[in-house]
Structure 1
Amino acid sequence: MATTYWDCCSPAYVWAASRYSKSVKSGVTGCNSKDQELTYSSSLKSGCQTGGNTFACSDQRAYSSSDSLAYGFAVGKLTEMTYEEMACTCFKLTFSSSVLSGKQMIVQITNTGTYPDDHHFDLAMPGANTYGEYSSGCESEFGSSYTWANKYGGLASSSDCDSLPEILQTGCKFRFDWFEGADNQTVSYEQVYCPTSLTSISGCVRSDE
């Protein structure tokens, strides 16, 4: 299953280097509330928690390479892999639901989450669902003067993307253009080596690649 989300919270694998030092060379890059990249330190804390200072960087979102191929970042849950094994791994997803059938995305796993199914990818796209424990994360980062996505379902149309901060609007419009406003899509997947086009954005590279 593939769904979409954007809650502005710091990806869990910002802390991958300290937790899984044998698996990754460095953690995922986090940003401050001005979307400026932060150098990792043990003092970083998710901005979606009280006193936190670290959020998702706006460039860690989906983008298209062609009409049939896109790249992006995701939460991953696969019961056959541990959190350490999944840290910053990449997968090629092939969509089989009718609206996106045949399209593919290569995604890097930069975050973790809890889902009812055993094989789940939650794709990072501004303007998508903000559900979860920290559903007010975007308001914490950017303030309350914007119209944020619904907790379930996200923004309703491409024109609604104009209500977001400017740095999130391109990623939001991808969701309605290339991704055709889809959600809850069936996918097949295979693990692949991470392309530099993704690792150069996230900053996270596995030690075995």
Structure 2
Amino acid sequence: WDCCKPSCAWPGKGHVDRPMLACSTRTGRITGDGNMRSVCDGGTSASCPSHKPLVVNSHLTLGFAAAAVSGNHGLLGDQNCAQCFQLRFVDKMHDGGVWGGSHRHLVNKSMIVQVLNIGYDVTGAHSFDIQIPGAGQGIFGSGCRGQYRGFSTGDFDCDNRYGGCHRRDGCARLPKQLQSGCRWRYDWFH
């Protein structure tokens, strides 16, 4: 969760009537201009706090994801913007691999994700990066600090850019609007 304007919030992405939503760093409200520059590039357009995961019940959750499109798994790029996918968590290993299978607490749960970002820079056999506040800012460390004044860069991921907060209590370092999304990682997605 780097707070950058979602790549799918630019005009012309996906087969939609209008771009995905982004929020103003000045007002916190949804922007009406898809051409506003991203907070990660010195602009005022950012991810909306409402892009955090939301629990429906003990077996279903909703959220947003970046589609990793630099692999061989059927995702194509910008045309995947705004598409929804159901992720089913199973305990099966990937074919021919030494990895895969969900944690036992996730098996038989599902998540509906809407593609909000396209990860052309992400390689590997996985398909989605779930957008979770507090789970690491990755290469863009200036966006959240630009969106939420009064916080340090490390507050948004417990000083761990790749992986984020290791414990639930680290979520208290994030702005109030993002804390429930961070706690989701430990309460539902553990």
Equivalent pairs, count: 169
Residues 38 and 107 of structure 1, relative CA distance in 2, 3 Å threshold: same
Q: How does 1:1-209 map to 2 (within 5 A)?
A: 6-15=1-10, 18-20=11-13, 23-33=15-25, 34-42=27-35, 44-50=36-42, 52-78=43-69, 79=72, 80-96=74-90, 97-99=102-104, 100-113=106-119, 114-132=121-139, 134-143=140-149, 145-146=151-152, 147-149=155-157, 150-180=160-190
- Find runs of 4+ consecutive structure 1 residues off by over 6 angstroms: none
CA contact (8 A) 1:94 1:102 kept: yes
Cα RMSD (Å):
1.7
Distance 1:172 1:135 in 2: 17
Percent identity, aligned pairs only, is 31
Matching residue of 2:97: none
Q: Secondary structure at the match of 1:13?
A: helix
Distance apart, 1:41 and its partner CA: 4.2
Distance apart, 1:19 and its partner CA: 2.0
Distance 1:176 1:26 in 2: 34
CA contact (8 A) 1:29 1:40 kept: no
Distance 1:87 1:145 in 2: 30
Q: Which amino acid aligns with 1:88?
A: A
Distance 1:161 1:70 in 2: 19
Residues 135 and 60 of structure 1, relative CA distance in 2, 3 Å threshold: same
Q: TM-score, normalised by structure 2?
A: 0.82
**Consecutive unaligned residues in structure 2, runs of 5 or more:** 91-101
Residues 155 and 20 of structure 1, relative CA distance in 2, 3 Å threshold: closer
Q: Which amino acid aligns with 1:128?
A: A
CA contact (8 A) 2:12 2:19 kept: no
